A and B are shown apart, each in its own frame.
Chain A
Amino acid sequence: MDGEKIISEVMGGGLRVLNRIADSPLVERLGLEDRAQKLVYEGAKRAAETAAKAAKRFRTKRTSDRPRSATKFDLSLSEEQQLMRDTLRRFADDVMQPAAREADDRSAPTDDFLDAFSDLGAIPMAVPEALGGAAEKVSAVSQMLIAEDLARGDMGLAYAVLSPLSFVNALVHWGDDDQRASLLPSFVEGETTAAAVAVVEPQPLFDPSALRTTATKHGSHYVLRGEKSLVAVADRAQWLLVAAEVPKIGPRFFVVERDAAGVEVIDEPAMGLRSAGLGRVTLDKVRVTDDTLLGGEAALGVAGKAAYDDAVDRARVAWGAMAVGTSQALLDYAIPYCNDRIAFGEPISHRQAVAFMIADIGIELESMRMLVYRAAGRLDAGLPCQREAYLARTLCSEKAMQIGTNGVQLLGGAGFIKDHPMEIWYRQLRSIAVMDGNLLL
């Protein structure tokens, strides 16, 4: 039991007694209030002194073998994160926003854009030095910030480039030595840039923990059967990380080659995220060797379950960050529009009905951001994150949609036509509730 808890419970007992004294009609009748108060003061002081001393003992004992970082509530970014953020914001504003409309129209990212992103070096930055990358330490917060800033440029394009990054993350987090050695170098060198994670399936009430796609063991092979939905850059991906249910074991990841027999990819254009080049992946009796199980044979045990659960959390934080980034772009666009748009002789932002919608977008955007940041912070601190990621997803699913619909409403007819990016954001923000997988930090 937690040391501080014990101390508090002990104090609680004392407080109950003190409260009884205070409540006693006798104290009042005997004119003892002053003395009783003195008693309470001294009692509380002693209890607090003892508690503080004991807590210090517990604290020094407990923290001695832990890193000293992250003991204070903190919203500031590291210098490195701030630098990356400045770069990516410029990239989002100068490269992505102008490219978004065309990519949406043709339902695919342009090669130019993919090359430009590759030059930013996000993938080597996600791989630790020990594995041949450039990262001193991998950080979920840093990746969350990347997702947020890219989604500020365009959520679909962000999805396209975060997919290979997610594939690499999975290898870094849970791959075994052979898998890392055979796959990571080509990503770090920039030879392979196209890969995707395939978790989401095309059925109502999809649950990433109750997959219909199966992986059944036959000798030294697994046979994969099922369908994966809304996979980014599906047609050009060389590698797919497929989530499948291993009977009697549970959901696990498999590293599958796009060209393996039985893998079929068809276009799956959707309401939004079109610029990601969405595809439906059909797995028809795809035979893969058993060393394609992510993490190797050890992944069949509890470590594999923990990894999969972790991946579910990391996906939720990633999509939450996407909701935050796109909502920020929407708010930044709506504000000057409402200030410039004149109706009834003055800017429409002078009307409370309009201004209050802006205020509400601001509040709920910040609400989403706080929940997402907290979940990511817990990932980096090695704290359990299931609850926080689930709550972040719950809130973002709802608020992202509201912000999307209110954004169009603020622009009126202009929000509905394709001259403005607002309608893209409306379509994209609806995806947050749908996408429960396919990315991971």
Chain B
Amino acid sequence: MIYLEVPKHLRLLVDQAHQVAKHVFRPISRKYDRAEHDYPKELDMLAALMDGLSAGGGQQDAGVGGLRPDEGSTGGVRNGANMSTCLGLTELCWGDVGLALSIPRQGLGNAAITAVADPEQRKRFEGVWAAMAITEPGAGSDSANIQTTARLDGDEWVLNGEKIYVTAGSRADSVVVWATLDRNLGRAAIKSFVVPHGTPGMEVVRLDKKMGIRASDTASISLIDCRIPKENLLGTADIDTKAGFGGVMQTFDNTRPIVAAMAVGLARAALEQARTLLGREGIKVRYHGPLFTKSAAEAELIRMEAEWEASRLLMLKAAWLADNGIPNSTEASMSKAKAARVANQITLRCVELCGGLGYSEVELLEKWARDSKILDIFEGTQQIQLLIIARRLLGKRSSELR
């Protein structure tokens, strides 16, 4: 049955997440945009609140914690954790992307843990706030070229290397570090490791100053002979050259729709605000009549809304596939590529449409236009997504279509 509406049983969660975004995030959005690197203390409350909501609501998690691989679904269509997470994050990012990225225990590293960890590890790392450390000074999009090494010494892994652009890297309790077991074995040798803050040898060496998502901390981390227990390697230590990136890359099938969800929420915030401000100037949006007999502003609002709807539905499709155990790599990348570029275009255009009001700090429009840019960069740039999609559609290996 083709039916592409938000399911009834998730509407309450959406409404609740929206209330958080509206009453918790929005009022402090500008404050932490200005006070970069100040810890938003309101977020401790929020973590408690999120935990309370899922404990009391008896329903799916609004955060990434619920992103478990599907365990033996009992027939029928599922609208599960992937969809509820995407819908919840859409609302939270309607409030503020930077703050949403700083919610304790909702880090991208948590998504990595839930995607790759075995049941024992999932249990052991429950309640941990984990950041994700992939990028290095010499390896951004080229993540197969990671130089950070992991060497087994007795019962411990010894990590050495340098990680940059780690979102929530200083605030999280732990960092999921990507490192190679053998530089000569390429992608297959790359594994992820949970490194708790306070482990000797791991240090936050700097916090970046950024154009946007300033409420979220972005850290550089150095690892010098950093020793962690053997059991902190997520998944299996076997190097299966056939499976390739398999293990760690699985994370992305879950996290890319999440970034798409962030973009969808942020873009909606800008569209709604532009519509409100233009509404005061007499611009109304009507869904009838030729586009070309409308004012240019009305037509542009409609075009943007159509693009926005497309990215929202692509995100839901990717999440739906994951919830129903259907492979979704292509769709995950499609949703991320589309939603991120659309959000960037929409936020920038809304600044223009609202003129000085859009550009000044009176409104949040200019902030959203700064925030949106990162969404087309992290968790795989636009260009990396296009590469992945093209390889899939054309049936090409990464050695052929480079």
Contacts and interface: CB of A to CB of B under 8 A. Distances in A.
A207 B292 CA distance: 10
B15 A8 contact: yes
Interface residues of B, number: 81
B224 interface: no
B56 A47 contact: yes
A40 B52 contact: yes
Interface in B136-165: none
Contact of A37 (B48, B389, B402): B48
Given A18-B45, A206-B290, A363-B338, A391 B2 contact: no
A359 to B, nearest CB: 4
B310 A370 contact: yes
Interface stretch (B115-123, B172-180, B270-278, B311-319): B311-319
B52 A42 contact: yes
A395 B12 contact: no
A359 B393 contact: yes
Given A37-B44, A207-B293, A371-B309, A378 B56 contact: no
B345 interface: no
Contacts of B15: 4-5, 7-8
B344 to A, nearest CB: 15
A78 B52 contact: no
B338 A16 contact: no
Interface residues of A, number: 90
A141 B2 contact: yes
B394 A358 contact: yes
A340 B287 CA distance: 44
B327 to A, nearest CB: 14
B162 to A, nearest CB: 29
A64 interface: no
A5 B12 CA distance: 9
A41 B28 CA distance: 20
Interface string B78-121: 11000100000000000000000000000000000000000000
A168 to B, nearest CB: 22
Given A22-B45, A44-B48, A70 B56 contact: no
Contacts of A249: none
A371 B287 CA distance: 15
Contacts of B362: none
Nearest to A339: B394
Contacts of A370: 4, 309-310, 313-314, 317
Interface in A286-309: none
Interface stretch (B18-26, B214-222, B261-269, B347-355): B18-26
Contacts of B313: 367, 370-371, 374
A52 B302 contact: no
Interface string A33-68: 100111011111111110110010001000100000
Interface string A1-36: 000110111011001101101110000100001001
Interface in B363-394: 383, 385-387, 389-391, 393-394
Nearest to B25: A19
Contact of A52 (B19, B58, B289, B395): B58
Nearest to B19: A12
A271 interface: no
A134 interface: no
Contacts of B289: 207, 209-210
B4 A377 contact: yes
A41 B57 CA distance: 12
A391 B305 contact: yes
B400 interface: yes
B28 to A, nearest CB: 7
Interface stretch (A175-183, A254-262, A348-356): A348-356
Contacts of A377: 1-5
B53 A74 contact: no
Contacts of B288: 209, 312, 386, 390
B332 to A, nearest CB: 12
A410 B259 CA distance: 31
Given A73-B3, A381-B5, A15 B293 contact: no
A388 B244 CA distance: 42
Interface of B: 1-9, 11-12, 15-16, 18-20, 22-24, 27-28, 41-42, 44-46, 48-53, 55-59, 77-79, 83, 287-293, 302-303, 305-307, 309-311, 313-314, 316-317, 320-321, 330-331, 334, 337-338, 383, 385-387, 389-391, 393-396, 400-402
Given A41-B51, A377-B2, 7 more contacts: A8-B19, A12-B19, A48-B16, A52-B57, A59-B8, A335-B394, A391-B302
27 contacts: A4-B12, A9-B19, A18-B49, A19-B27, A19-B28, A22-B44, A40-B45, A41-B49, A44-B49, A70-B1, A77-B2, A206-B290, A347-B400, A349-B396, A349-B401, A358-B390, A358-B393, A362-B330, A368-B310, A370-B4, A374-B5, A376-B2, A377-B2, A377-B4, A386-B287, A386-B288, A391-B287
Closest 10 CB pairs of A and B: A44-B52, A48-B56, A367-B310, A370-B313, A45-B56, A355-B390, A8-B15, A390-B287, A374-B4, A45-B52
